[in-house]
Structure 1
Amino acid sequence: MELPLSGIRVLDLSQVMAGPFCTMLLGDMGADVIKVEPPGTGDQTRASMGYRLKGNDSNGFLQLNRNKRSIELDLKNDAGRGVLYELVKTSDVLVENSRPGVAQRLGFDYRTVAALNPRLVYASISGFGQTGPWSQRPGFDMIAQAMSGVMSTAGHKGGVPVRNSISIADLGAGLMALYGIQSALIGRAASGRGQYVDASLFDAALSLSIWEIAEYWSTGESPQPMGSANRMSAPYQVVHAQDGYFVIGAANQKLWLLLCDVMGRADLVDDPRFVDNISRLANREALISELENTFETDRVSHWVEKLLDVGVPCGPLYDYRQALDSDHVRARNMVMSTRHPVEGDLKLIGYPVKLSDTPQQLRRAPPLLGEHTEEILASLGFSKSDVQTLREQGVFGAAEGAAGNVHK
């Protein structure tokens, strides 16, 4: 069976993380994603995100751009914009993440391209959205985390504010844009028209702060950092055993009683400090101290096995090596490999969602810069002489697929 988005063409004019993550997920579902890149340099992530393997494209770029084709286009060039307009006429979705106003200045804003293709779903991803007093500020994940309040609750009480190591604002914005795009595509089936999708890193980070905002609106006090603890239930955090750390989630009264039973700590059940979840939240530090006094009498593996046997959620604290090497990751196909023309065998993160009837396919390795330029132009009806003329006009790079991918 065809993938759900087979027949959908996506123009990816985005760079770095939020936009490329969004368009990669669309590609994984079958969309034909055409990555439009500046000649010579391409997506900033090709060169700027460190950690290279054999070629000059960073592994960060490779992890965000599978199932895409690449075309080089200089959008500051009239002829380059002309090619883009031809692509727009044959596309269903356009994704861009320039600062508000840049797309209009370069001639590919929503009003301009929607006049060419009223069915186009156009998604803009920016730091703070297209409206509001902060809309013109540069948008980076850390800035969105800081200004949304996310960093104010990260780390430990009294410590330096900490950025969440996962780029939740960037990746969250990509997911929110994906949600908007697919909703607009469904709506288009009835209306016959596309629409504009405005997603931002700031809005995404704020919208994911559900427990924290709930606490603020309930108490009138801004939430404070709590380390690994959960602000809605206890015990629900990292704890220390004899040989290391593990996590427990005794998030309701039934699980709390099971935990006490496994630990042999019937005294905690009747302790007025811990009699219910509200009490345990109010006395969290004393609670964790009591638990760790017992946990530190034996190893992590002992406690995890005993707790799982009775249904108390828990797990060892793994690093990425341990997680990626686990049997579960293998069973879930969360590490895939593909053949890349420069890198050879290339590992990629697997699909985070599995479809039963139309499982995703790794159809294309991450593209070399401009690798599909001539192929895409030919599909639009450009002849070889047309391509040569465009090349002479500086619309794209001199050597297809060469820039940024030279072997060390």
Structure 2
Amino acid sequence: MKLDGLTVLDLSLFLPGPAASQLMADHGARVIKVENPRAPEPTRSAEAFPWQQGGETVMFRNTQRGKESIALDLKTDAGKRAVLALAKQVDVVVEAFRPGVAKRLGIDYESLSTENPGLVYCSISAFGQTGPWRDKPAHDTATVAAAGILDVTRSPEGDSGPAIIGVPIADMLSSYLALSGVLMALHRRHTTGRGDFVDISMFESVLAASPNILGPVFGGGQAPERLKERTHGGNAMLNVYETADKHYIALGGGEHKFVQALFEGLGRPEFIAAVTGPAGEGHWPAIAFLRETFRTRSRKEWEGWFEGRDICWSPVVTLDEAWRADHVQERGMRFQDEAGNDHIGSAIKFTDEPAQIDTHLPQIGADTAKIIAELDLTEADHGAILESLNSNVRTTGES
């Protein structure tokens, strides 16, 4: 596979870092996950993530598969020495501590790259490693709010307030940027022999995803006006319409051919000129017509009407419907392991060397003895690490 021979040390928790390292594992990398035996990976917890399959949370199963687990308490000398020894042997480190924590623990880029100058070290944080917001605590929703995206995420009808986005976009965008940054640094290492420090901000990952909505900001020095911009309810062809049975139809493309096919099909070609023009007030009569028209038929009836027409559209389906679609199965985005547990497939498709997903899930510290045997550590450190694992596993009841 594409990343065969690559070794990744994952010090991160929750979603952005683990999702990035799982992508690397899916494509052949050896990923060693470090967990504190006193406070292991939070997504293992059925209290925080109650939906489970096969005794594991769905969240954990789809962010941690194919990894090895070593239990290390980074606040102990033995745990710290183990990380330093591991860092000499790996290609990549991924961490998601708040800025300054890794340095305080003595496992920051400067400390680890001294012994391994080819190391690629990726830090994922809310607002980045520098700047006045560096030390602000935040998870996904707060960074999305700070990036202005919650303000533009509103219903196109009525006086809607900001809406929580249904997926953790800052977490996932920063995860994908982390993967991209790591691979860029590894590519450059082939020439220079040097690694690099990759600073990924969840906040900036959302800012970077915004070029299509920045016209009024960069061009006019103002926030987008709701119902006047193309992606904020002001375009008839980028909008959501309620059907007679309280379902919804989404229109998703405003090219002339799609506009023509829709309005000629509905017998109202007089709207074509306005709807192919700038978003805003010129679209409002067409939007009003479409709202009234879509409420005359059920979702199923509209699905039949759209069939065979060259128009960008989709019914607004539930998450369960989406993941049951034949297309999802055919493309391998949902598959089951031998025990019948569901997994998210790889969205990166290669013709040569496609992903070979290892669905094995690491138990807390299950690979500790094997991994520390590979390291240049004293017998005392070996004993301290294993004792910490065994005593804390007994205390938490994990196996």
TM-score computed with the length of structure 2 as normaliser: 0.91
Contact 1:169 1:205 in 2 (8 A): yes
Q: Which moved more, 1:280-289 or 1:206-215?
A: 280-289
How far 1:56 sits from its partner (Å)? 7.0
How far 1:372 sits from its partner (Å)? 1.2
* Cα distance change, pair 286–366 in 1 and its aligned pair in 2 (3 A): farther
How far 1:390 sits from its partner (Å)? 3.4
- The whole-number CA distance in structure 2 between the counterparts of 1:404 and 1:210 is 49
Alignment partner, residue 277 of structure 2: 277
Alignment partner, residue 377 of structure 1: 372
Alignment partner, residue 240 of structure 1: 242
- The whole-number CA distance in structure 1 between the counterparts of 2:301 and 2:198 is 50
Alignment partner, residue 33 of structure 2: 35
Q: Which moved more, 1:63-72 or 1:239-248?
A: 239-248
* Cα distance change, pair 103–389 in 1 and its aligned pair in 2 (3 A): closer
Name stretches of at least 5 consecutive residues in structure 2 with no aligned partner: none
* Cα distance change, pair 347–50 in 1 and its aligned pair in 2 (3 A): same
Alignment partner, residue 188 of structure 1: 189
- The whole-number CA distance in structure 1 between the counterparts of 2:161 and 2:8 is 42
* Cα distance change, pair 8–363 in 1 and its aligned pair in 2 (3 A): same
2:262 to 251, 259, 263: 259
Q: Which moved more, 1:301-310 or 1:363-372?
A: 301-310
Q: How many residues align?
A: 394
* Cα distance change, pair 53–266 in 1 and its aligned pair in 2 (3 A): closer
Alignment partner, residue 52 of structure 2: 53
Which amino acid in the other structure matches residue 169 of structure 1? A
- The whole-number CA distance in structure 2 between the counterparts of 1:222 and 1:62 is 40
Alignment partner, residue 94 of structure 1: 93
Identity of aligned residues (%): 32
- The whole-number CA distance in structure 1 between the counterparts of 2:293 and 2:132 is 53
* CA-based RMSD: 2.6
Give the secondary-structure state (helix, strand or coil) at the position aligned to 2:151: helix
- The whole-number CA distance in structure 2 between the counterparts of 1:332 and 1:119 is 37
Residues 326-366 of structure 1 deviation map (CA, whole Å, 9 limit, x = unaligned): 11111111112235xxxx54211111121111111122422
Q: Which moved more, 1:46-55 or 1:145-154?
A: 46-55
* Cα distance change, pair 18–404 in 1 and its aligned pair in 2 (3 A): farther
Alignment partner, residue 170 of structure 1: 171
Residues 61-109 of structure 1 deviation map (CA, whole Å, 9 limit, x = unaligned): 2221112111100111111111111111110000001011100110101
Q: Which moved more, 1:50-59 or 1:194-203?
A: 50-59
- The whole-number CA distance in structure 2 between the counterparts of 1:364 and 1:385 is 34
Residues 221-255 of structure 1 deviation map (CA, whole Å, 9 limit, x = unaligned): 20245599724853212112333311123412221
Give the secondary-structure state (helix, strand or coil) at the position aligned to 2:335: strand
Which amino acid in the other structure matches residue 185 of structure 2? A
Alignment partner, residue 131 of structure 1: 130
Which amino acid in the other structure matches residue 74 of structure 1? D
Alignment partner, residue 391 of structure 2: 398
How far 1:22 sits from its partner (Å)? 1.0
1:12 to 6, 10, 13: 10
TM-score computed with the length of structure 1 as normaliser: 0.89
Residues 39-67 of structure 1 deviation map (CA, whole Å, 9 limit, x = unaligned): 13211222263214367753322221112
Give the secondary-structure state (helix, strand or coil) at the position aligned to 1:10: strand
How far 1:301 sits from its partner (Å)? 3.4
Alignment partner, residue 355 of structure 1: 350
Q: Which moved more, 1:48-57 or 1:240-249?
A: 48-57
Q: Which moved more, 1:240-249 or 1:345-354?
A: 240-249
Q: Which moved more, 1:293-302 or 1:376-385?
A: 376-385
